[in-house]
Amino acid sequence: MVIRCVAVVGKQNNPLYIHSTDDPHLQFHYLVHSSLDVIEEKIGKATTDARDPYLGLLYPTEDFHIYGYCTNTKTKLVIILDEPVQQPELKALFLRIHDAYTAVMCNAFYEPGTPITSKAFDKTIKSLATRR
């Protein structure tokens, strides 16, 4: 599994954090932005009491597979991979990213809804992206 991009998008669909491992950074911005419609559609179909935050494969493109996760505060996590992967492995990856995001939110100096500039969060995401 090769992680090409990890994105955190706020509840107002504003990008809070985008890390891509490749140079065409704008291409990944476009793919993340395009995935937001699919996320909104999947969230609308989910029942509120039995909702799993893991949204699964949002859509494949010719080169990538885009997966999604939505927190209970409507913050969206998007991962772009080269090839499809098993669901348990991907769920575990999303949980690690969600834990790192929760640590950012617990920081008294972070203002929710603003871009994430935490060095610890960035280090965690980069380590997860390179470890795969």
Q: State the Rg of the chain over Cα.
A: 14
User: Which of the four pLDDT bands, split at 50, 70 and 90, describes residue 48?
Assistant: very low
1-29 tens-digit pLDDT: 789 999 999 999 999 999 998 777 888 99
Please determine, for residue 51, whether its predicted confidence score (pLDDT) is greater than 90: no
Can you tell me the distance from the alpha carbon of 63 to that of 109, in angstroms, rounded to the nearest whole number? 39
Please determine, for residue 47, whether its predicted confidence score (pLDDT) is greater than 60: no
The mean per-residue pLDDT over the stretch 115-123 comes to: 95
pLDDT at 46: 64
**HSE (side-chain half, CA atoms, 13 Å) at 4:** 20
